[in-house]
């Protein structure tokens, strides 16, 4: 029998938090400033992969962390269990995969990330609390999302809404080899919609 959504959310959060890193002090020192790869015009945010696990249904769950103004920030990233293979066209050799990604709150550190994003983006949404989970449609632009350890994976995420003003796109790049994740802008015009999508309703 499927667990209610609220119980599943708590269970996933506990999975992310239950495994302590072998050397917490070293990992904390190694966390990147999330703005280290940004410039004044574009904000491509960098994170360290702290934990990676597989759920019974085949989904993959990552805890990623960094710092902003010296304080720790963190997110949960859930890659759905099903990725459908396809092609952009007969003349395009690129194989793509389509599926879903959820960005999940891990509590205070995620709330701090959302406030940082609002500040960096200059969106003035006064965002203070991240929603428990925000679901995005996703397509791969490189790599196979079902096999993260095989090669780096580049994903384009789409937040879909009946309200056109809330539609947004962004990039999620995962490199298990280097232990890094990047959340990158697609277009500054989507900034307000991204902050709103990630905010608690």
- Segment 141-150, tens digit of pLDDT: 999 999 999 9
Q: Judge whether 54 lies within some domain.
A: yes
pLDDT digits (tens, 9 = 90+) for 6-48: 434 444 444 444 433 434 443 444 899 999 887 767 899 999 9
The pLDDT of 117-130, averaged and rounded, is 94
Q: Judge whether 132 lies within some domain.
A: yes
Q: 72: which strand partners?
A: 67
Q: Judge whether 10 lies within some domain.
A: no
Q: Tally the domains of the chain.
A: 1
The range of the structural domain enclosing residue 136 comes to 32-198
> Per-residue pLDDT for 5 more than 60?
no
Q: Judge whether 142 lies within some domain.
A: yes
Q: Judge whether 181 lies within some domain.
A: yes
Q: Judge whether 87 lies within some domain.
A: yes
Looking at 47-175, list the stretches that DSSP marks H as alpha helix, in order from N- to C-terminal side: 108-121
Percent of the residues in the chain that have a pLDDT greater than 90, as a whole number = 73
Residue from 18, 34, 47 nearest 176 by CA:
47
Q: Judge whether 47 lies within some domain.
A: yes
Q: What is residue 44's predicted lDDT score, i.e. its pLDDT?
A: 93
Q: Judge whether 105 lies within some domain.
A: yes
pLDDT averaged over every residue in the chain? 87
Residue from 95, 83, 147, 105 nearest 16 by CA:
105
Rounded CA-CA distance 93/89 in Å is 8
Q: What is residue 37's predicted lDDT score, i.e. its pLDDT?
A: 81
Q: 199: which strand partners?
A: 130
pLDDT digits (tens, 9 = 90+) for 56-96: 999 999 999 999 999 999 999 999 999 999 887 777 778 89
Q: What is residue 19's predicted lDDT score, i.e. its pLDDT?
A: 38
Q: What is residue 11's predicted lDDT score, i.e. its pLDDT?
A: 46
DSSP letter at 189?
G
Q: What is residue 20's predicted lDDT score, i.e. its pLDDT?
A: 36
């Amino acid at each position: 029998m499927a667990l209610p959504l609220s119980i599943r959310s708590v269970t996933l959060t506990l999975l992310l938090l239950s495994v302590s890193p072998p050397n917490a002090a070293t990992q904390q020192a190694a966390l990147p400033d999330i703005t280290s790869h940004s410039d004044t015009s574009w904000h491509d945010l960098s994170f360290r992969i702290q934990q990676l696990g597989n759920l019974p249904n085949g989904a993959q769950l990552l805890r990623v962390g960094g710092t902003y103004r010296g304080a720790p920030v963190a997110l949960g990233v859930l890659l759905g269990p099903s990725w459908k293979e396809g092609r952009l066209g007969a003349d395009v050799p690129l194989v793509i995969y389509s599926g879903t990604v959820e960005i999940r709150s891990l509590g205070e550190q995620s709330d701090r990330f959302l406030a940082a994003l609002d500040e960096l983006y200059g969106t003035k949404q006064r965002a203070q609390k991240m929603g428990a989970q925000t679901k995005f449609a996703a397509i791969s632009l490189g790599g196979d999302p079902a096999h993260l350890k095989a090669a780096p994976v580049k994903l384009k995420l789409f937040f879909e809404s009946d309200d056109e003003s809330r539609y947004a796109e962004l990039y999620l790049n995962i490199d298990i080899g280097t232990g890094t994740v990047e959340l990158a802008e697609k277009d500054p015009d989507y900034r307000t919609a991204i902050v709103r999508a990630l905010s608690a309703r």
